[in-house]
């Protein structure tokens, strides 16, 4: 590994962006650990390298080389251009290779997927990619059962105690009134009063103009886009609704012929648009797929 590749390796290992003039930008992107309800385990934190042909703002690689070697920038540029010409040779299919860093695979839509070397991958993700389940030393029983126990052991809020006490008080008063015959005496007094004072009220006829018949306007429902971007498939509707709630309402639920529930985060008119959208959410939903009618 030469000095330029070693400098890029060190910058990425410290999770700093590297700007390559004439080529693009390498950027580390971090994702925190998250609880996965469907597998009842934690997805580990992960840092991946993304590449874009656009050049971001900030110190460029030639400036970093000049700063590290204590040389003027004009003396560093020929060395950088020679390195850049070697990288741009690629394999003839648009894929690029940077020694010690990894491979940059070009997708059909023009974007790139970075596959880092083993050494760089281990520095960026020391815990690996395996999902972690809660161990027996962390929880006294199996995780779902323990979670239900914790939910059942929650203390009752003071407001519920007050409501329960009021309900008991009302029931006691009703029982006392029935035992003393208060309801019977009240019913007898009301019956005597109705017999003594009988008032016949004849309502006046109300003449109203006939209302015009409402005109029903046809409701045109928009046809769903034929290609749906599916980010989750579940056998229980509750799990699908939970994922829709996490997406903030932009997701929809579709039912497959086998009775399973699919969660879509967008519909598209063409397959190319759906595939492009899948590539954009690849980091958040690596298992996303396009449902074709």
| CATH number, domain with residue 270 | 3.30.70
Q: 157 lies in a domain?
A: no
Q: 190 lies in a domain?
A: no
Region of poorest pLDDT, from 1-5, 112-116, 198-202, 247-251: 198-202
Q: Considering the chain, what is the average pLDDT of its residues?
A: 77
Q: 206 lies in a domain?
A: no
Residue 271 CA, chain-centre distance (Å), reads 23
Q: 172 lies in a domain?
A: no
Residues 132-187 have pLDDT tens digits of: 555 544 444 444 444 444 444 555 567 778 988 999 999 988 888 777 777 667 77
- Any bridge partners for residue 270, and if so which? none
Region of poorest pLDDT, from 209-223, 230-244, 265-279: 209-223
pLDDT of residue 135: 55
**124-133, 164-173, 203-212 — most confident range:** 164-173
Q: 173 lies in a domain?
A: no
Residues 119 and 232 in one domain: no
Say if pTM beats, i.e. exceeds, 0.85: no
Q: How far apart are CA 29 and CA 284, in angstroms?
A: 11
Q: 27 lies in a domain?
A: yes
Contacts of 159 (CB under 8 A, 6+ apart): none
pLDDT of residue 168: 93
Q: Final residue of a domain: which of 66, 99, 124?
A: 124
Radius of gyration of the chain from its Cα atoms, rounded to whole angstroms: 35
The larger pLDDT score, comparing residue 71 to residue 134, is at 71
Q: How far apart are CA 105 and CA 94, in angstroms?
A: 7
- The confidence band for 209, taking pLDDT boundaries of 50, 70 and 90, is low
pLDDT of residue 279: 85
Q: Which tokens belong to 17?
A: 């962006």
Q: Final residue of a domain: which of 79, 96, 124?
A: 124
- Which residue range is the domain that position 259 belongs to? 227-291
Q: 88 lies in a domain?
A: yes
Q: Which tokens belong to 39?
A: 């597998």
Domain count, the chain: 2
Q: Final residue of a domain: which of 124, 148, 177?
A: 124
The larger pLDDT score, comparing residue 151 to residue 49, is at 49
User: In sequence order, which ranges of 2-142 are alpha helices (DSSP H)?
Assistant: 3-13, 61-69, 73-89, 118-124
Return the percentage of the chain with pLDDT > 70, whole number.
Answer: 75
């Amino acid at each position: 590994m030469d000095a330029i590749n070693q400098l890029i390796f060190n910058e990425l290992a410290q999770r700093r962006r590297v700007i390559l003039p004439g080529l693009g930008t390498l950027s580390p992107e971090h994702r925190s650990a998250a609880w996965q309800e469907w597998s009842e385990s934690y997805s580990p934190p992960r840092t991946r390298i993304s590449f874009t042909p656009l050049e971001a703002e900030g110190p460029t690689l030639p400036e970093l080389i000049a700063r590290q070697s204590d040389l003027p920038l004009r003396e560093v540029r020929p060395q950088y251009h020679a390195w850049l010409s070697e990288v741009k040779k690629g394999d003839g299919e648009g894929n690029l290779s940077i020694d010690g860093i990894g491979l940059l695979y070009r997708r059909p839509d023009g974007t790139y997927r970075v596959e880092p070397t083993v050494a760089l991958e281990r520095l960026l993700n020391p815990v690996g990619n395996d999902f972690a389940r809660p161990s027996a030393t962390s929880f006294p029983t199996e995780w779902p059962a323990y979670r239900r126990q914790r939910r059942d052991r929650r203390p009752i809020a003071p407001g519920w105690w007050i409501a329960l006490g009021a309900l008991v008080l009302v029931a006691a008063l009703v029982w006392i009134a029935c035992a003393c015959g208060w309801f019977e005496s009240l019913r007898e007094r009301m019956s005597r009063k109705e017999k003594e004072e009988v008032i016949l009220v004849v309502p006046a006829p109300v003449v109203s103009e006939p209302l015009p018949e409402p005109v029903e306007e046809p409701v045109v429902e928009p046809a769903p886009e034929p290609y749906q971007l599916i980010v989750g498939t579940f056998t229980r509707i509750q799990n699908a609704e939970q994922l829709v709630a996490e997406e903030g309402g932009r997701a929809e639920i579709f039912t497959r012929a086998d009775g399973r529930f699919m969660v879509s985060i967008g519909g598209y008119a063409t397959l190319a648009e759906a595939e492009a959208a899948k590539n954009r959410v690849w980091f958040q939903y690596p298992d996303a797929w396009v449902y074709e009618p």
